[in-house]
Amino acid sequence: MDTPGPTVFVLFGATGDLARRMVLPAFWTLAGRGLLPDDWVLVGNGRGDVSHEDFRGHVHDVLGRPGGEEWKRFADRLYFAGGGFQTQDPGSLLDVIEHARTRVGRNAQLVHYLAVPPVAFPEITRALGEHDLAQDARVVYEKPFGTSPDGFRSLNRTVRAVLDESQVYRIDHFLGKEATQDLHVLRFANEIFAAMWNREHIESVQIDVPETLGIADRAGFYDATGATLDMLVTHLFQVAAEIAMEPPESLSAADLQAAREKVIRSFRPLDPAEVVLGQFTGYRDTEGVRSRSRTDTYVAAKLWIDNPRWRGVPFLLRTGKRMARSQQRVSIVLRAGHGPFGRLPAEANVLSFDLSGAGGIALSLLAKKPGAGLDLDPAAVTLPLTTLPEAEPLDPYVRLIHDVLVGDRSLFTRPDGLSAAWRAVRPVLDNPPRLATYAPGSWGPGRANKLVAPGRWLSGPLK
């Protein structure tokens, strides 16, 4: 991969939860893998009055207190700028960036990473323009980019007033997953799959992301968001687009983005009658959750794509908290065939992708059972991606931050696609279906099974 040039990386919200869980560990991994620039500085920003040494101590704790020369070299490049950052008051950030530039070079690439709640995006964006920190900079926005159709449009106007689209990196970390990228690699690099990637051969597609985890560690954020906004209109829609997009003209960032965003514009607005919302029992007892909260912790939806390739093929999307199993699975269900064996069983042939961790690919098929008879038995072949020679899987945040550093926007979202995604989900936001309850540790509301009938949800380990 490319080696980025000298960089000053500004991390807004540097002592917050997202930075602790994702961004700082990813930066440490990049350093250990030799994927950072030869000259770099990370400047943390926050409202508190934190010294450089205290911030280094915080990062040391976040990373599990590593030692040795590697940590010393890493820590020496960490700084903190307190006092917040607003249009009227930049705090100490301008001074700290000036110091960083004297260290790594006046022409260093400036990267701003907004690991802050979405409500803070507009003010920080305006402040970047006000304090001359926007020109030629790259700016990373965490999801969700807007929390409603109107909020998206307002935020997009603010961003476009300060930044050119080429400077904007809107993260959806599901696009950075190794196996998500294999969705288009397997298809476009292997004619055996490319030839059957259409409505003639595919009966349905399932994108299933159940989680056993609850929301206790981020109850305030989640209660204001819910499964539909946190997962459906973001991760699940983006994975659906990755599966459904037309072959791009090339693998350039512009062509990959264009293909992904074009198919999102073909998403039919969701029918609330084909959406199931749920809330696990006991959710309202969680500290930080409103006593009469109507927030959905579960959503299942049937998505239709109105174009010649996919017309009539249901995309079945499901995610929820406190469910029976944690999994991130895509299942391409092929149509049951006819022939000398008669009608074959439904769901006999399924191409599955495990999106978690390093990822895996599995294919279920029917084979002759060894013996004197001619009996068919289901069988499966599995390819864990870590078994490929010299495989070095990257965590999604590691991959995406590296892409920002080298200026590759292939795996980031665009405003036209996001606008279409909000349009597709709007009927459910305007007229949400009745909220069902479900028991923690279950598979969610039973009525979601009707969405897949006469089939079934295929969650389970890759065989």
146 annotated as belonging to a binding site for a ligand: no
244 annotated as belonging to a binding site for a ligand: no
60 is catalytic: no
Catalytic member of 60, 235, 338, 402: 235
Q: In what order do the strands lie in the sheet with 360-368?
A: 376-384, 360-368, 350-354, 329-334, 202-210, 315-320, 298-303, 275-280, 435-438
| Cα 437 to the center of its chain, rounded Å | 26
368 annotated as belonging to a binding site for a ligand: no
* CB atoms near residue 190 (< 10 Å): 10
53 annotated as belonging to a binding site for a ligand: no
143 annotated as belonging to a binding site for a ligand: yes
309 annotated as belonging to a binding site for a ligand: no
18 annotated as belonging to a binding site for a ligand: yes
15 annotated as belonging to a binding site for a ligand: yes
The span from the CA of 242 to the CA of 182, in Å, is 10
211 annotated as belonging to a binding site for a ligand: yes
455 annotated as belonging to a binding site for a ligand: no
**Burial status of residue 341 (CB atoms within 10 A of its CB: 0-12, 13-18, 19 or more):** exposed
16 annotated as belonging to a binding site for a ligand: yes
321 annotated as belonging to a binding site for a ligand: yes
Residue 170 bridge partners (DSSP):
141, 413
20 annotated as belonging to a binding site for a ligand: yes
- Residues within the annotated binding site for NADP(+)? 13-20, 47, 143
User: Could you list the active site residues?
Assistant: 235
- Residues within the annotated binding site? 13-20, 47, 143, 173, 177, 211, 230, 321
